[in-house]
């Protein structure tokens, strides 16, 4: 919605049971009761979980929530967004546990200009290279592939028989390509150490004149670890959304009532996270995804630390280049094994672990022996 206008939210249809206190006994008495015993039972689920993120921002019923969030983040940077069109996901987030595009949308602003926003959450300090790859992919995916199908016309050879219908391939329509804005919500690490600023907007500028001539790519990032305001201190809309992403799981009833009065759209986002709105089966899928992502992040951090240490030690003895190469190779192998062990300990199936790590079923079973 345009900046400065009061928020309006279309109501969410709640599922039965309609109260959090009713959900917990149902979960405990179901075949998924072990999840209730092992999980920390909050009223609201984690909005940074990719499945929840997609439910809040990636569905038609919540287009108003997405538009409100984007306008809050881009206020003063882009013209207000009036409408969004959801683009197909690159991968199914319920299958691709580790790397996927979460929400891709084509936006139309108040000046009838269109651009693409790709949104993701990250807890990986090496996210910048991935951000560049995903933004480039979103841009390249707009290119129309050459049409090699027949157009109904045919040619005759010397014997009178018809050749196969042919059409001259039509090249990509580059004039139709839309700019891409990559928006990432960062958590569990600090990206830029020397500033307290937690919302960043980056674009391509001329190094001498600082002119903004290349407008095809821009990158916006929110660093949640630097955000430490209470909801009362969060006076801007972007601050209120930062509070939502960082503190939704620990929001108490009294605070939730203040949020309901202050922001209908953020209230609607909270409603989407309410645990009681999901079946035990849906909660199991959420929790497995949460565990798999945590295991992946832990494995990455541990393997990288070991790989760097081994690479540096080897480099002192036989040369920096060779040491780093061998250290990184060992780190990658240990990374996969570490991720697999963590996921095994969380109860994920060998098939899921195979899809996430690339290890064979035999290798995974060996780790569990």
**Three-state DSSP class for residue 121:** strand
- pTM summary value: 0.68
CA dihedral 114, 83, 265, 2 (to 10 degrees): 70
Q: Rounded to whole angstroms, how far apart are CA atoms 275 and 22?
A: 10
Tokens of residue 207, six digits: 């190094």
Tokens of residue 83, six digits: 């409408």
Query: Do the bridges between strand 217-223 and strand 180-186 make them parallel or antiparallel, or are there none, so unpaired?
Result: parallel
Q: Rounded to whole angstroms, how far apart are CA atoms 235 and 221?
A: 20
pLDDT at 131: 87
* Torsion sign over Cα 216, 222, 223, 226: positive
pLDDT tens track of the chain, all 369 residues? 555 555 666 655 444 444 444 554 454 444 444 454 444 557 899 999 888 898 899 899 999 999 999 999 999 999 999 999 998 764 434 334 444 447 889 999 999 989 999 888 877 777 888 889 888 888 888 886 555 454 444 444 444 444 444 444 455 678 889 999 999 999 988 999 999 999 999 999 999 999 999 999 999 999 999 999 999 999 999 999 999 999 999 998 888 999 989 999 999 999 999 988 888 778 877 887 777 665 555 555 555 555 555 555 554 554 455 545 555 556 566 777 777 777 777 677 787 777 667 788 888 888 876
Q: Rounded to whole angstroms, how far apart are CA atoms 307 and 166?
A: 54
Q: Rounded to whole angstroms, how far apart are CA atoms 358 and 369?
A: 19
Per DSSP, the residues of 168-200 read PPPPP-GGGPPPEEEEEEE-SS-S-TT----EE
pLDDT at 37: 44
CA distances to 12, 269, 290, 360 from 55, rounded to whole Å, are: 12, 9, 15, 32
Per DSSP, the residues of 278-330 read S-HHHHHHHHHHHHHHHHHHHHHHHHHHHHHHHHHHHHHHH-HHHHHHHHHHH
pLDDT at 290: 74
DSSP lists the bridge partners of residue 107 as 84, 115
Q: Rounded to whole angstroms, how far apart are CA atoms 297 and 162?
A: 60
- 305 burial class (0-12, 13-18, 19+ CB within 10 angstroms)? exposed
pLDDT at 212: 93
Whats the size of the chain, residue-wise? 369
Domain extent listing, the chain: 44-144+171-273, 283-367
Strands in 103-109's sheet, in edge-to-edge order, are: 81-86, 103-109, 114-122, 180-186, 217-223, 199-203
């Amino acid at each position: 919605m345009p900046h400065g206008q009061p928020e309006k939210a279309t109501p969410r249809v709640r599922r039965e049971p309609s109260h959090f206190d009713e959900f917990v006994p149902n979960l405990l008495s179901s075949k998924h009761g072990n999840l209730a015993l092992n999980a920390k039972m909050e009223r609201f689920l984690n909005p940074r979980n990719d499945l929840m993120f997609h439910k809040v921002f990636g569905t038609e019923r919540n287009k108003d929530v997405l538009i409100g969030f984007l306008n809050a983040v881009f206020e003063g940077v882009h013209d207000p967004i009036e409408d969004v069109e959801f683009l197909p996901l690159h991968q199914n987030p319920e299958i691709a546990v580790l790397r996927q595009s979460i929400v891709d949308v084509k936006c139309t602003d108040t000046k009838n200009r269109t651009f693409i926003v790709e949104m993701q959450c990250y807890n990986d300090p090496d996210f910048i290279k991935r951000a560049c790859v995903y933004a480039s992919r979103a841009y390249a995916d707009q290119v129309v592939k050459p049409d090699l199908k027949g157009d109904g016309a045919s040619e005759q050879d010397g014997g009178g028989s018809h050749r196969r219908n042919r059409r001259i391939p039509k090249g990509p329509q580059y004039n139709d390509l839309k700019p891409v804005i990559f928006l990432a919500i960062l958590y569990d690490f600090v990206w830029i150490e020397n500033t307290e600023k937690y919302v960043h907007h980056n674009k391509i500028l001329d190094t001498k004149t600082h002119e903004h001539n290349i407008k095809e790519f821009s990158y916006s990032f929110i660093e949640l670890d630097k955000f430490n305001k209470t909801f009362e201190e969060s006076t801007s809309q972007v601050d209120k959304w930062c509070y939502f992403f960082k503190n939704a799981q620990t929001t108490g009833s009294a605070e939730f009532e203040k949020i309901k009065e202050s922001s209908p759209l953020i209230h609607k986002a909270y409603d989407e996270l309410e645990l009681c709105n999901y079946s035990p089966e849906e909660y199991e899928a959420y929790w497995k995804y949460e565990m798999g992502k945590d295991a992946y992040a832990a494995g990455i951090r541990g393997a990288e630390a070991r790989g760097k240490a081994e690479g540096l030690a080897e480099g002192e003895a036989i040369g920096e280049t060779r040491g780093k190469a061998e250290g990184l190779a060992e780190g990658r192998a240990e990374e996969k094994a570490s991720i697999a062990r963590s996921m095994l300990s969380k109860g994920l199936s060998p098939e899921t672990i195979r899809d996430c790590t690339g290890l064979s079923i035999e290798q995974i079973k060996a780790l569990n022996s």
